[in-house]
């Protein structure tokens, strides 16, 4: 079964810094990978689909890259509202639509 791993588990950064989050799939998912943001007490929100396309209304500081098994979500300059948990999800091999375990971006 498909598995996704995310690293690091926690990323401690200051506002204005660059964040680089990794997602690795146990087998190729092509570019069928999405990223979601979940702020405390809120539902997840779609950020990136098809590895590199920003969803509607997502600021340009969020970007995604990668294909096959290795993917990256980059936040170019962290805003206070960006401190949250980020999940990747694959859409190629289903069911299930596997999520990664998440990376928490916390304020340093």
Partner 1 sequence: EVQLLESGGGLVQPGGSLRLSCTASGFTFSNYAMSWVRQAPGKGLEWVAGINAIGSEPFYADSVMGHFTVSRDNSKNTVYLQMNSLRADDTAVYYCTKEMAITKPFDYWGQGTLVTVSS
Q: Which residues bind partner 1 (CB under 8 A)?
A: 32, 34, 36, 38, 43-46, 49-50, 55-56, 87, 89, 91-92, 94-102
The minimum distance between CB 93 and partner 1, in angstroms, equals: 11
CA–CA distance, 10 with 30 (Å, rounded to integer): 26
3/15 with CB nearer partner 1: 3
Tokens of 5: 């791993």
Nearer to partner 1, 17 or 72 (CB): 72
Q: Which residues pair with 36 in a beta bridge?
A: 46, 87
Structure-token pair, residue 45: 């929100």
Question: CB of 61: closest distance to partner 1 in angstroms?
Answer: 20
């Amino acid at each position: 079964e498909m598995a996704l791993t995310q690293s690091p588990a926690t990323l401690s950064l200051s506002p204005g810094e660059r964040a680089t989050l990794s997602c690795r799939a146990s087998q190729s998912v092509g570019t069928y990978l999405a990223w979601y943001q979940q702020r405390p007490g809120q539902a997840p929100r779609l950020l990136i689909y098809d590895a590199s396309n920003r969803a509607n209304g997502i600021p340009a500081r969020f970007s995604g890259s990668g294909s096959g098994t290795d993917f990256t979500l980059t936040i170019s300059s962290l805003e206070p509202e960006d401190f949250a948990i980020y999940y990747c999800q694959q859409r190629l091999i289903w069911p299930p639509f596997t999520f990664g375990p998440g990376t928490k971006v916390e304020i340093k």
